[in-house]
Amino acid sequence: MSWVIGVTGGVGCGKSRFLEELSLEIKAYVILADDIGRGLQEPGTKQYDEIVEVFGKEVLLENGKFNRGLLGMLAFSDENKLKALNNIIHPAVKERIEKRIESIIKEDPEALIFVEAALLLEADYDSMCNEVWYIYADTETRFKRLSQGRGMTRESFDRITKMQLSEYEFRLRSNFVIDNSGYIEASVVQARRHLSL
């Protein structure tokens, strides 16, 4: 029987890195909502046109693609614009994830599938999952990762985290919590133990 696990957590918790490492050790399919969302923001898509309508042409680079840093900054500075952006992107992302899951299960009825999304709970992606994992890391570890890896400022980090679910809400709505504050290998061990692998 196939099994679909939704993987979520706040910014800087290391969700993608964790899944990258885990999928080296076990046979699993990984669907990244961010990758699908990026594809939907390419010129020529319906979503692209709708985003330009909401944010204006100033969020575009010379090549016509989005200046993702600027788009993110504007979205996270205005709750209404963030809501509008999510309403444009997430229904289409969800539909594509559902089709991808169906396609995988058709090919491999015993598939173990991970769906990774920061907004897994808010965008109702969890409705297509058998269980939800919350990847946790303490606040300072998250900020350190993002400041070193992406050059994120404390102000930007605080603004983004305030707009995401609280740790309490993540834990309340998840079936399993992985502490990813330390070494990635330790997180993989927690996952394998939970899956009895």
Rounded CA-CA distance 26/23 in Å is: 5
Backbone angles phi, psi at 189, to 5 degrees: -60, -45
Largest separation between any pair of C-alpha atoms in the chain: 51
**Does residue 85 carry a pLDDT above 80?**
yes
As separate numbers, helices (DSSP H) first and strands (DSSP E) second, the chain gives 9, 5
Q: Is 45 left (phi over 0), alpha (psi -120 to 50) or beta?
A: beta
Tally of CB atoms within 10 A around 131: 13
- Residues 104-125 have pLDDT tens digits of 999 999 999 999 998 899 989 9
Contacts of 91 (CB under 8 A, 6+ apart): none
Contacts of 174 (CB under 8 A, 6+ apart): 8, 132, 133, 134
CB 44 within 8 A of CB 66: no
pTM of the model: 0.89
Which amino acid appears at position 131 of this protein? E
- Residues 122-167 have pLDDT tens digits of 989 999 999 999 999 999 999 999 999 889 999 988 888 988 899 9
